[in-house]
């Protein structure tokens, strides 16, 4: 009887340890927006340009804008700034229906990358 009780207790303990272990490992599920998404000090020249290099410059670079990007050269700070301050840029990448959804023909940017654009816009669209 005593042995059974001890066995039961140790199973319970092991179960609890396993459960909490899994819980902490899956923080990304508990916080789906990514506690690991760093949106502090976002720079246009590094953070945002590297996202646009992957998803936008194939159409919106200086070289490609007139043929593929509707004339919008997103390598140009003033163009990015004016699209950002009018709200068009965020509407395009969040695909909220108020602008053409971007990237055209591609899959939507990750929440983390979208948050980086909005953090940069909220910091006043600096040329940084």
Give me the 105-124 binding string for ligand HEC, x by CB under 6 A, dash otherwise. Answer: xx--x---------------
Residue count (the chain):
128
Report in angstroms how near the CB of residue 72 gets to ligand HEC at its nearest: 5
Q: Which stretch binds ligand HEC (CB under 6 A): 13-21, 25-33, 35-43, 64-72?
A: 64-72
- Do 75 and 60 form a contact (C-beta atoms < 8 A)? yes
d(CA 49, CA 79): 13
Nearer to ligand HEC, 42 or 83 (CB): 83
- Alpha helices per DSSP H over the chain: 2-25, 27-30, 49-55, 57-60, 65-68, 77-85, 88-94, 111-122
Report in angstroms how near the CB of residue 71 gets to ligand HEC at its nearest: 7
Q: Which residues bind ligand HEC (CB under 6 A)?
A: 52, 55-56, 58-60, 68-70, 72, 83, 88-89, 92-93, 99-100, 102-106, 109
């Amino acid at each position: 009887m005593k042995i059974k009780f001890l066995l039961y207790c140790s199973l319970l303990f092991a179960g609890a340890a396993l459960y909490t272990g899994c819980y902490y490992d899956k923080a990304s599920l508990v916080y789906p927006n990514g506690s690991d998404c760093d949106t502090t000090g976002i720079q246009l020249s590094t953070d945002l340009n590297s996202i646009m290099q992957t998803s936008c410059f194939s159409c919106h670079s200086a070289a490609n804008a007139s043929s593929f990007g509707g004339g919008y050269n997103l390598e140009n700070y003033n163009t990015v700034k004016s699209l950002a301050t009018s709200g068009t840029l965020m509407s395009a990448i969040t695909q909220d229906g108020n602008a053409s959804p971007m990237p055209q023909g591609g899959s939507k940017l990750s929440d983390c990358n979208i948050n980086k654009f909005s953090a940069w816009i909220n910091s006043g669209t600096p040329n940084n």
